[in-house]
Amino acid sequence: MKIGELAKCSGLSTYTIRYYERIGLLPVAERDAGGQRDYDPSILIWTEFLGRLKTTGMPIRDMLRYARLREQGAQTGLERRALLEAHRDMVRDKLDTLQASLLVLDIKIDSYVDTEQRTHHDETTP
């Protein structure tokens, strides 16, 4: 699997894939006879996991910590788990504040709806 195909499958751009390799988020890729990157499809498991860390808001530097631990093998399991648990707690917090803000947003929107039903608005709120 060449870089273009990995790009399609993973949703990352080829630029990003090379960038991730440069900084150590992706393992240094094997090369084919012509010197081009040649990926084992199992890389997709890793890119998908990275994507999940990313959508949950983990900064690259933390993914990097995880990636380095992973490369050091099984004895880093405890540390990786701790990293993930800390991250999970962060995600839960984010989820809570997001939920709270959603409620406020709904109330705000309702107030606009109300305002349109009466036909004037006092503008004392944002």
Partner DNA sequence: TCTTGACCTAGAGCGCACTCTAACCCGTAT
Partner DNA sequence: ATACGGGTTAGAGTGCGCTCTAGGTCAAGA
111 contact partners, CB below 8 Å, separation of at least 6? 125
Q: Of DNA, its own copies, none, which one does residue 4 interact with (CB within 5 to 8 Å by kind)? A: DNA
- The Cβ-side half-sphere exposure at 124, using a 13 Å CA radius, reads 1
Contact by Cβ (8 Å): 45, 80: no
Q: How far is CA 96 from CA 14, 40, 101, in A?
A: 35, 39, 9
φ, ψ of residue 45 in degrees (nearest 5): -65, -40
Give yes or no for residue 99 binding its own copies (CB under 8 A): yes
* List 9, 43, 54, 115, residue binding DNA (CB under 7 A): 54
Report the site for its own copies in 20-79 (rule: CB under 8 A): 45-46, 49, 52, 55-56, 70, 73-74, 77-78
DSSP secondary structure string for all residues of 5-64: HHHHHHS--HHHHHHHHHHTSSPPPPB-TTS-B---TTHHHHHHHHHHHHHTT--HHHHH
Interface mask toward DNA for 19-48; x: CB under 7 A: x---------x---xxxxx-----------
Give yes or no for residue 118 binding DNA (CB under 7 A): no
Which residues contact DNA (rule: CB under 7 A)? 2-5, 7, 13-16, 18-19, 29, 33-37, 54, 59-61
Which residues contact its own copies (rule: CB under 8 A)? 45-46, 49, 52, 55-56, 70, 73-74, 77-78, 80-81, 84-85, 87-88, 91-92, 94-95, 97-99, 101-102, 104-106, 108-109, 112-113, 115-116, 120-121, 123, 125-126
